[in-house]
Amino acid sequence: MHELIDHPCVQHKLAIIRDVETKHKRFRELATEITQFLCYEALKNIKVREVTVQTPLAEALCKKIDTDLVVVPILRAGVGMLEGILELVPTARVGFVGLYRDEETKLPVSYYDRLPLQTKNGTCIIIDPMLATGGSTNAAIDLLKKSGATDIVVICIVTCPEGLALVEKVHPDVPVYTAAIDDHLDDNKYIVPGLGDAGDRLFGTSH
């Protein structure tokens, strides 16, 4: 299952972040802002509990989040989305998954993982700006499920039909929230039109 967040504010920011003239400082700011919109939608059905709060005038029956949240950025580009989620849910715990794509096979290679114990009982949110082939996303989901996670959500800024199809085939129970479903993957497995190499654009690096 996937959900396209087509809100005008999201699409406006998406137009700017795609622009080749957008430099790394602004790119990071936009990644944070877009992530907040996506997270807002992705977490709309999480568990809450009722609490009583004393206002200056009277008691009020309110609701607070009652779910352990674990945010898992896929290194390195996923780190560029982390601030956006933590500004919304600052009590969330953070795990990390390191994956890179082998340039010959185009398959994901794992080189690092560090997950908090709350993975087993909480809602795990995988973040990565690009969901291209779906290989890295599936590898991250596999890792979380092996650690005991049962409630997993994926948030990405840009994806494509090929990547979504693979994730939904392998992990039909994991919803994907995205700001864009682009046209296709090119011969090098890059999303077209995409937004370029998200990691390089976030951190001002290049090959």
For the domain spanning 2-203, the CATH number is 3.40.50.2020
Distance CA 172, CA 191 (A): 22
Residue of 108, 99, 123 whose CA lies nearest to 177:
123
Residue 93 has pLDDT above 90, yes or no: yes
Which residues participate in catalysis according to the annotation?
A: 101, 105, 197, 200
Instruction: Give the pLDDT band of residue 29 (cuts 50, 70, 90).
Output: very high
Read off the pLDDT of each residue in 92-119 and give the average, rounded to a whole number.
84
Task: Give the H/E segment covering residue 59.
Answer: strand 59-65
| Spatial contact of 99 and 109, defined as CB atoms under 8 Å apart | yes
- Specify the pLDDT at position 117: 80
Read off the pLDDT of each residue in 71-75 and give the average, rounded to a whole number.
95
- Specify the pLDDT at position 102: 76
Residue 98 has pLDDT above 80, yes or no: yes
Residue 65 has pLDDT above 80, yes or no: yes
* Other CB atoms within 10 A of residue 51 CB: 11
Residues 168-177 pLDDT 10s:
999 999 999 9
Structure tokens belonging to residue 102: 């082998």
- Specify the pLDDT at position 121: 74
Structure tokens belonging to residue 78: 């996923």
Residues 111-141 pLDDT 10s:
898 998 866 778 999 999 999 999 999 999 9
Distance CA 114, CA 49 (A): 29
pTM for the predicted model, two decimal places: 0.91
List the domain boundaries for the chain. 2-203
Distance CA 28, CA 162 (A): 26
- Count Cβ atoms within 10 A of the Cβ of residue 190 and give its class: 0-12 exposed, 13-18 middle, 19 or more buried: middle
DSSP for residue 121: T
Q: Let me know the angle formed at the C-alpha of 153 by 148 and 154, rounded to the nearest 5 degrees.
A: 120
- Sign, Cα dihedral of 93, 113, 175, 189: positive
Instruction: Give the pLDDT band of residue 104 (cuts 50, 70, 90).
Output: confident
Length of the chain: 207
- Specify the pLDDT at position 109: 84
- Specify the pLDDT at position 144: 94
Residue 207 has pLDDT above 70, yes or no: no
